[in-house]
Amino acid sequence: MAPRGTVPDMTSTAIEVLDHPLIQHKLMRIRDVSTPPDVFRALVSQVAGLMVFQISRDLPVRDVDVETPLETTTCSRLAGPVTIVPILRAGIGMADGITSLMPEARTGHVGLYRNEETLEPVEYYCKLPEDIAAGPVFLVDPMLATGGSAIAAVRLLEARGCRDIRLVCLVAAPEGAAAMAQQCPNVAVFTAALDRQLNDLGYILPGLGDAGDRIFGTR
């Protein structure tokens, strides 16, 4: 990975920026330092739902026969269970928006925090459905900074047999996107914005601050 503060070569980085006007409008308000925690939480939830609506277009389906009031017809249903896995704690702010769209989805949780000295992820909690590998997994975290937490979470999911993993974040740094492309090339990465760089403390610029603190009003 390139040193923090520089923009690495992105030519081989697989990341999709969702530039839908509604997503970008709401992201503008999320970035605004004057946005209060209650509005911030609502916007994060809304953007997460809009993003997953777009990236769930290719979820596998199967045909089923359904009896309408008039006749039998063939319809489509999801071929397997969908699981949402927020990376604690900030990822919780995105999970609600996705479950409002897909209330039938299960929710697992992965607890990781960043060591502020080494910037490496430290696992402290992991609770996932036993059959999580039976369907696609939406791994959600507002920030893709160094990529360390996302990569660690992907490794936990892969160890349980997951193969269809989709990382969803609000903003990403080029350094984190490049790390994901190198370490987890089979994971699709979706973001609302690819920002400029990381600063010397590992925070995304221009970013949106500490997403967890802004969601929960802890700073």
Q: Are strands 197-198 and 204-205 parallel, antiparallel or unpaired?
A: antiparallel
Instruction: Give the span between the Cα atoms of 162 and 135, in whole angstroms.
Output: 8
User: Active site residue: 29, 114, 160, 196, which one?
Assistant: 114
Instruction: Give the span between the Cα atoms of 5 and 16, in whole angstroms.
Output: 22
The question of whether 118 is a catalytic residue gets the answer yes
The question of whether 219 is a catalytic residue gets the answer no
Those residues with Cβ within 8 angstroms of residue 166's Cβ, 6 or more apart along the chain or in another chain: 55, 136, 137, 138, 139, 187, 188, 189, 190
The question of whether 114 is a catalytic residue gets the answer yes
The question of whether 31 is a catalytic residue gets the answer no
In the block, which residue shows the tokens 């308000």?
Answer: 29
The helix (run of H) or strand (run of E) holding residue 193 is strand 188-194
User: Active site residue: 29, 31, 196, 213, which one?
Assistant: 213
Instruction: Give the span between the Cα atoms of 140 and 215, in whole angstroms.
Output: 14
Instruction: Give the span between the Cα atoms of 28 and 104, in whole angstroms.
Output: 30
User: Active site residue: 74, 118, 200, 219, which one?
Assistant: 118
Tell me which residues are annotated as active site: 114, 118, 210, 213
